[in-house]
Amino acid sequence: MPGGINLTRSQLEAVFEHAKRQQPEEACGILAGDPDGSVRRVFLMENAEHSSILYMMDSTEQFEVFDQMEKDGLELVAIFHSHPHSPAFPSARDLELAFYPESLYLIVSLMDDEPQYHAFRLARGQVAEAPLVILDDIKESLDEA
């Protein structure tokens, strides 16, 4: 169970772009990676509810993602979704529908010009903010001889 989320700037940008493309609906997806919370893959998923106030991942798509994660040796780090018109804080419904207590939840708000985002642990009706570290993308450099 990760204590926080570590993701790169480009991974976070992919989440932002997915959220913007899905407006006015909530966007959703899965962040998969290592047990320490380091994200290795971002899965952009369809909101089966097609709602601006609720998200639900398509069950077939979710099964395929979990199957791919298992094949790739990845763990569930976080579930993400967007709030097109409200703050990056879990709603009562988010808390009620938090079916994966071992997962963290990343919420992205699009209510301002710049996306706002926070990570949370949602378990047993409780909300606790979790650490979120944005890492610079690693660029390989070649030494010229």
Cα–Cα dist 49/32, whole Å: 23
Q: What is the pLDDT of residue 141?
A: 40
Query: How many C-beta neighbours within 10 Å does residue 57 have?
Result: 20
Q: Which residues of the chain have pLDDT under 50?
A: 140-145
Walk me through the domains of the chain, giving residue ranges and CATH numbers. 5-135 (3.40.140.10)
What is the pTM assigned to this prediction?
Answer: 0.91
Residue with tokens 């301002």: 112
**CA nearest neighbour of 45 among 55, 54, 37, 35:** 55
pLDDT at 1: 65
SS3 content of the chain, % helix, strand, coil (to 5): 25, 35, 40
Interval 100-131: pLDDT, tens = 989 999 999 999 999 999 999 998 889 999 99
